[in-house]
């Protein structure tokens, strides 16, 4: 079968959605994906390709990366995150992932992307390793379940809108991204890293992420960047001189609102392990692997520092 490979642009978004819905066998959250694919804050569109069946122009597969503004050893760089790889079931095992990947990496080099990272699922991971990506580490997650009352448990069981209502309650406590003082953003968990690669907590970055459903909330000991998945409160980052105490604020809030669990993950294993020492009931586990494709950076010092908020699905 012959295929045509076309560079992704916004006019091809609907073709991506067609592939996505067929590949994952579910209806796409159209507005969410549209916001995710709007990376105009970086000055770049999503970089990728769509493969079409040349005979009937049926969308067959997609691979692309999300441009990201970062720093490397303190200097600004343009890098990217791999995400939303999808192949229509009718066109699987045709070698399309490999061809789309190679074309996308070539385009990344042309567009000035210096570094690409990703957190692939078990289906994609073997392919990336075959393509020469490096498995840097596994993400460590700290999860703790608040001791919530029987009343909350009953409410959650009887209310189909429970998770939605929790989101509203958190949103009511959120603050406008552009009202945050710059000095507060400098208190991120990423603030201690002068070397390697990281993503600065700029207002444009947080505003982009807020369109995907995250919030920045103000608590007693600082600001917490959070999102909600089902009845779990996920922490994307903590902005504070005392992040341990700020985590306590988040944990207390989760308890008062009746969340099932609080989860936090970061490349800083020491911080997560310190939380574990403070909260013995916290369970630590490893999840998605961090993989890296160095396109133009010096591989000697490209350690990537991140928190849960940097995952493309946060």
Q: List per-residue pLDDT tens for the chain, 314 residues long.
A: 899 999 999 999 999 999 999 999 999 899 999 999 999 999 999 999 999 999 999 999 999 999 999 998 889 999 999 999 999 999 999 999 999 999 999 999 999 999 999 999 888 899 999 999 999 999 899 999 988 666 666 666 666 666 566 667 788 889 999 999 999 999 999 876 777 889 999 999 999 999 999 999 999 999 999 999 888 999 999 999 999 999 999 999 998 888 889 999 989 889 999 999 999 999 999 888 999 999 887 655 668 999 999 999 89
pTM given for the model: 0.91
Cβ neighbours around 251 below 10 Å, total: 21
Fold agreement (3-113, 140-288): yes
User: What is the CATH T-level fold of the domain 3-113, as seen in this structure?
Assistant: Aminopeptidase (3.40.630)
Contact 190, 202 (CB under 8 A): no
Contact 60, 88 (CB under 8 A): yes
Please tell me the distance from the alpha carbon of residue 255 to that of residue 251, in angstroms, as a whole number: 6
Give CA angle at 176 (243, 306), nearest 5°: 40
Please tell me the distance from the alpha carbon of residue 184 to that of residue 123, in angstroms, as a whole number: 39
What DSSP designation does 251 have? H
Among 271, 108, 65, smallest CA distance to 188 is for 271
Pick the CATH number of 140-288 from 3.90.930, 3.40.630, 2.60.40, 2.40.10: 3.40.630
Cβ neighbours around 207 below 10 Å, total: 14
> What residues contact residue 280 under an 8 Å CB cut-off, 6+ apart?
none
Domain boundaries defined on the chain: 3-113, 140-288
Kindly tell me the burial class for residue 41, based on how many C-beta atoms sit within 10 Å of its own C-beta (0-12, 13-18, 19 or more). Answer: middle
């Amino acid at each position: 079968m012959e295929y045509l490979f076309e560079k992704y642009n916004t006019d091809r978004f609907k073709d991506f959605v067609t592939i996505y819905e067929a590949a994952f066998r579910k209806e796409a959250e159209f507005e969410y994906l549209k916001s995710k694919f709007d990376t105009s804050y970086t000055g770049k569109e999503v970089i990728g390709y769509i493969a079409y069946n040349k005979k009937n122009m049926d969308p067959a597969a997609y691979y692309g990366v999300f441009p990201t503004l970062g720093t490397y050893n303190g200097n600004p760089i343009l890098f990217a995150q791999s995400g939303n790889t999808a192949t229509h079931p009718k066109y699987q095992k045709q070698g399309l992932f490999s061809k789309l990947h190679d074309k996308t990496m070539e385009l990344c080099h042309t567009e000035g992307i210096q570094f690409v990272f990703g957190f692939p699922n078990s289906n994609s991971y073997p392919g990336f390793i075959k393509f020469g990506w490096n498995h840097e580490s596994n993400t460590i997650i700290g999860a703790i379940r608040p001791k919530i009352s029987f009343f909350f448990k009953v409410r959650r069981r009887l209310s189909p809108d429970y998770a939605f209502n929790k989101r509203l309650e958190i949103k009511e406590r959120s603050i406008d991204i552009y009202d945050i003082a710059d000095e507060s953003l400098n208190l991120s968990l990423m603030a201690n890293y002068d070397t390697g690669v990281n993503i600065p907590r700029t207002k444009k970055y947080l505003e982009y992420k807020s369109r995907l459903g995250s919030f920045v909330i103000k608590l007693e000991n600082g600001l917490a960047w959070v999102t909600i998945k089902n009845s779990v409160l996920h922490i994307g980052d903590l902005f504070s001189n005392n992040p341990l105490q700020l985590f306590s604020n988040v944990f207390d809030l989760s308890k008062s609102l009746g969340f099932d669990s609080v989860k936090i993950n970061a490349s800083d294993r020491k911080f997560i392990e310190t939380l574990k020492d403070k909260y013995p009931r916290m369970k630590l586990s490893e999840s998605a692997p961090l993989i890296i494709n160095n396109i133009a950076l010096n591989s000697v010092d490209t350690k990537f520092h991140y928190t849960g908020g940097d995952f493309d699905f946060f």
